[in-house]
Structure 1
Amino acid sequence: MFHRRNNSQHDQESNELYTESKIKELRAAIGPLSGRSLKYCSDDCLKRYLEARNWNVDKSKKMLEETLRWRSTYKPEQIRWDEVAMEGETGKLYKAGFHDRQGRRVLILRPGMQNTSSVENQIRHLVYLLENATLDLPKGQEQMAWLIDFTGWSFSTSVPIKSARETTNILQNHYPERLAIAFLYNPPRIFEAFWKIVKYFLDPKTFQKVKFVYPKNKDSVELMKSYFDEENLPTVFGGKAMLNYNHEEFSKLMSQDDLKTAAFWGSDDKPDGNGHI
């Protein structure tokens, strides 16, 4: 027994040393950084990019550099709630007030509640909430869980295929290893045709994290409930909690979080002609 435990401890130490060496190798490969790029590239961040590319330093370096270029132009950390608040009026996408059993942040998506037509603004809204949720993750936790409710979904409320591809590219290429699990709850049969196209945009790792849940399929329901406390899980997902999205209250929380975001990233923002940032 002691010998087995000792071997396990040895394996853990070996894995930690390997991880540290790969992180150092990747950091040396990307070279000196400054400003927000330096802040973004924490050891945990580099580890996620390495995991996403199976610990291949060259591939991880290429992926990370592409993200840094994207962040320098898209500036996701500078998006503020008042810019995307209109997108959130119906509660089609928001950060839940509970965590999963692993302490991960939960994003709730309700595509049937789509209320706008600008795909660009819809993506900015999603990126804003991803940035917000990642800054809000508990220490030592790098991932989040998604719950997707298909009540009211139809082709008329779905995003165009081109937009779905752009969205998945951003998620996979610039937020690697941020998704722990995604549960698609009770999608209508017509969604299967949409999914057959979208799934080809997903890399194998992401594809394995997407789970379909049907109320009449006991195994799929049990799998979802193994991730969530039934008392926290909203009734629309088969739990016991009422799902009540209050846009005004959520807006207050996001405005407070915007101050934390600005403090975290520093004052690289430049004021406009009216003195606003």
Structure 2
Amino acid sequence: MRRIGKRSVRKKGYVTCFTVWIRAASTPRTWDFSITTPKLGGYRYKTIKLSNNSLRRFLVACDWDLSSAAARLRDTLQWRREYKPQHVICHRCRETPGCHSMRQVGFDKDGRPVLYMCFAQCSTTEQTVDGAVQHVIALLENAAKSSDQESCGYVWVLDLQGFKFFSSQKIAVAIEKVVSKHYPELLEALLVVNPGLFFHTVWHAMRRFIDQNTRSKIHLYRDKPRLQEKFHNLFPCELREWLFNEINLNLNSQYPKAQKTFWKYNHGDMHDPRGCASYVQKYVDNITLADYEDSFDRTFHLPHKNVLDEVLLRGKFKACGMKYH
């Protein structure tokens, strides 16, 4: 083993300001990191293992500035200790089902979680900044639990059908601040579909608050051929078809009730708004009440809060021999 001292490295740097031990594995490209932080809050943390990719994300976000990356990583570790994001539940969705429509619906060709959101599916326009931030944190934490990828990046499809201003700028800035600070460089791509002229005005006002790296990953699609090409390159056939069906149904002038209550699914319907078939089968239909109640550490992936509640409620009725409507 060898110890990396406090020195400035821009292209192949590793976090200092911590005690960083690097142990080479079978190849020079594979490393294990064991980081012991200084005393925070009056006591010393336990050793925390972080992957090469996890440390690299913070370095890239800070333009390879070691002291800035180390400070940001230490702040994130402190934030996770105090806020406990791995246990966050969206209380707004609990109080008002469908308040937030953003949810995981599948995986891209590289196994990264794919998130989908449509404003038309939100059950209320009374959105709060704290509620939106809480929902995104819960979503990202659960997305990480579903991914086999070490870096756990994600792709976000944002459907602007039904978009209204209702403090969207404040919410977007608050979300971007938390995500860029504590989940840096996880966003692989943000695909914005159905952007109207009004959104372009809002986007020009918001973009100055978003760092350049994130801005480069945001793509607006107004014409279908370009969107089809992008979907074809990113998503497997099953998810690609699900996304196009979901987007088209949300564009319908006679909005289907099943789309508004996206957390429910009637087995007679052709389209399941909860997600593509493989995702629903693995992460939704197989959740049991016993599994959920027995898992205090919540190390397994949970779907959207309302999807989860619906599945567990059906399970309660089934256990009692009653039919759930």
Do they fold alike, i.e. is TM over 0.5?
A: yes
For residue 215 of structure 1, the aligned residue among 199, 223, 228 is: 223
Return the TM-score normalized by structure 2. 0.62
**1:262 is aligned to 2:297:** yes
Residue matched to 1:79 = 88
Percent sequence identity is: 21
**1:23 is aligned to 2:14:** yes
* Distance in 2, Cα, partners of 1:200 & 1:251: 42
Determine if contact 2:132/2:175 at 8 Å carries over to the other structure: no
Change (3 A) 1:224 1:41: same
Return the TM-score normalized by structure 1. 0.71
* Distance in 2, Cα, partners of 1:254 & 1:198: 42
For residue 107 of structure 1, the aligned residue among 112, 115, 118 is: 115
* Distance in 2, Cα, partners of 1:32 & 1:259: 34
Determine if contact 1:183/1:224 at 8 Å carries over to the other structure: no
3-state SS in 1 of match to 2:167: coil
Determine if contact 1:107/1:146 at 8 Å carries over to the other structure: yes
Amino acid of the structure 2 residue aligned with 1:61:
A
Change (3 A) 1:25 1:65: closer
Amino acid of the structure 2 residue aligned with 1:48:
R
Q: Relative to structure 2, which stretch is displaced further, 32-41 or 87-96?
A: 32-41
Determine if contact 1:94/1:109 at 8 Å carries over to the other structure: yes
Amino acid of the structure 2 residue aligned with 1:189:
L
3-state SS in 2 of match to 1:148: strand
1:84 CA displacement: 4.5
For residue 193 of structure 2, the aligned residue among 185, 195, 204 is: 185
1:159 CA displacement: 3.4
Residue matched to 2:164 = 154
Per-residue deviation, residues 178-201 of structure 1 (Å, max 9, x unmatched) = 111110011111111111111111
Residue matched to 2:155 = 145
**1:56 is aligned to 2:65:** yes
Amino acid of the structure 2 residue aligned with 1:152:
G
Amino acid of the structure 1 residue aligned with 2:154:
M
Q: Relative to structure 2, which stretch is displaced further, 105-114 or 193-202?
A: 105-114
Determine if contact 1:185/1:214 at 8 Å carries over to the other structure: yes
Amino acid of the structure 2 residue aligned with 1:92:
S
* Distance in 2, Cα, partners of 1:83 & 1:39: 32
For residue 69 of structure 1, the aligned residue among 78, 82, 98 is: 78
Change (3 A) 1:43 1:20: farther
Q: Relative to structure 2, which stretch is displaced further, 22-31 or 110-119?
A: 22-31
Q: Which runs of 5+ in 2 are unaligned?
A: 1-8, 21-35, 250-269, 301-325
Residue matched to 1:245 = 274
* Distance in 1, Cα, partners of 2:11 & 2:46: 20
* Distance in 1, Cα, partners of 2:194 & 2:173: 22
Residue matched to 1:275 = none
Amino acid of the structure 2 residue aligned with 1:231:
E
1:42 CA displacement: 4.5
Q: Which runs of 5+ in 1 are unaligned?
A: 1-17, 266-277
Amino acid of the structure 1 residue aligned with 2:233:
S
Amino acid of the structure 2 residue aligned with 1:46:
L
* Distance in 1, Cα, partners of 2:119 & 2:85: 22
For residue 121 of structure 1, the aligned residue among 117, 123, 131 is: 131
